[in-house]
Amino acid sequence: MQTSPINSTGRSWLIKMTTILRTLLLHAVILCVMQTSGVRIESVPGSVEQMIEMKLDGTVSLICRHKTAARTDMELVWLRNNALVKLENNNRGDNSSICVTPLTHEDNGAIFTCQRKNDTTLNDSVTLNVTYASRTNGSEEFDMEEQETLVLLCDMYANPAVIVSWEFNGTQLEHTAGQVIVTNDGFTSKLTVNKLDMDLHRGTYICETNSPKHGKQRRTFIVRVKERTIRFPVMPIVAGVVVVFLTILLAIFSRRKKIAKCFK
């Protein structure tokens, strides 16, 4: 049996593969070089990502190390959102560390950079992702009168963002319909009912927030609506009564004059 030589399409495929392999190798070498020079931030609790996920009120320690063990005399600086962080004198060399505690809402998205003082191209950065749940859970009661405006507020300030839904007497409030308006500003979801109607609007409202990380929370609003109590405006009525009384008196008086005239 004869072995057939590699045909032309097979050969060009081989060349292509060789080229790809060579490129990949080159990339690997470049990556290797980049990893052995410069500085690297490590975090406690640890993370291999450039994004460190932490809970609100938690604590994170960031440690900056030289990637090469040899040059440990280099001075390091830390930046928070490009602003210099003050360091103790003995904390500027290798293993320079900073601690952020307690983590606040403002620390979410903050970028921490460690770099060599003399040569800023030797740098590493991490971004904090501070997660927090909304404070939705709870219940409130409202005693309202017809024609009044009802405003229900529901906390939705959370990271990651939550999905908010409202229901009334067990039925989902799909869209803003009629007098019921739902708005949100990213912090609070607001349900407004203008001109309350006893038959249409009294009942139980529920705001539900759904977080991919923190789960579901519900806030219940029990809204009672009663008839508008008619408050008599006392002073104008008194004045009116006086006017009517005087008019009648005047009428009788002038009539009497007329009558008197007749019987003169």
Ligand X SMILES: *[C@@H]1O[C@H](CO)[C@@H](O)[C@H](O)[C@H]1NC(C)=O
Q: Is 148 in the site for ligand X (CB under 6 A)?
A: no
Q: Which two tokens stand for residue 174?
A: 């799909």
Q: Which stretch binds ligand X (CB under 6 A): 10-18, 20-28, 130-138, 232-240?
A: 130-138
| Residue, CB closest to ligand X | 203
Q: Is 118 in the site for ligand X (CB under 6 A)?
A: yes
In this complex, which beta carbon is closest to ligand X, that of residue 16 or of residue 216? 216
Of the candidates 228, 196, 227, 192, the residue with the CA atom closest to the CA atom of residue 207: 192
Cα 38 from chain centroid (whole Å): 36
- Which residue in the set 47, 56, 87, 94 belongs to the binding site for ligand X (CB under 6 A)? 94
Long-range contacts of 16-23 (CB under 8 A, 24+ apart): none
- Which residue in the set 123, 189, 209, 211 belongs to the binding site for ligand X (CB under 6 A)? 123
In this complex, which beta carbon is closest to ligand X, that of residue 12 or of residue 147? 147
Task: Note whether 263 and 255 are within 8 A (CB).
Answer: no
- Which residue in the set 160, 239, 247, 251 belongs to the binding site for ligand X (CB under 6 A)? 160
In this complex, which beta carbon is closest to ligand X, that of residue 95 or of residue 254? 95
Q: Is 75 in the site for ligand X (CB under 6 A)?
A: yes
User: Whole-angstrom Cα distance, residue 215 to residue 210?
Assistant: 6
Buried b (16+ CB within 10 A) or exposed e, 134-150: bebeeeeebebebeeeb
Q: Is 99 in the site for ligand X (CB under 6 A)?
A: no
Report, in Å, the least distance between residue 153 CB and ligand X: 17
In this complex, which beta carbon is closest to ligand X, that of residue 137 or of residue 149? 137
DSSP 206-240: EEEEEETTTEEEEEEEEEEEEPPP----HHHHHHH
Q: Is 189 in the site for ligand X (CB under 6 A)?
A: no
User: Whole-angstrom Cα distance, residue 136 to residue 72?
Assistant: 50
Q: Which of residues 36-65 bind ligand X (CB under 6 A)?
A: 51, 53
In this complex, which beta carbon is closest to ligand X, that of residue 190 or of residue 214? 214
Report, in Å, the least distance between residue 137 CB and ligand X: 4
Q: Sign of dihedral through CA atoms 135, 136, 137, 142?
A: positive
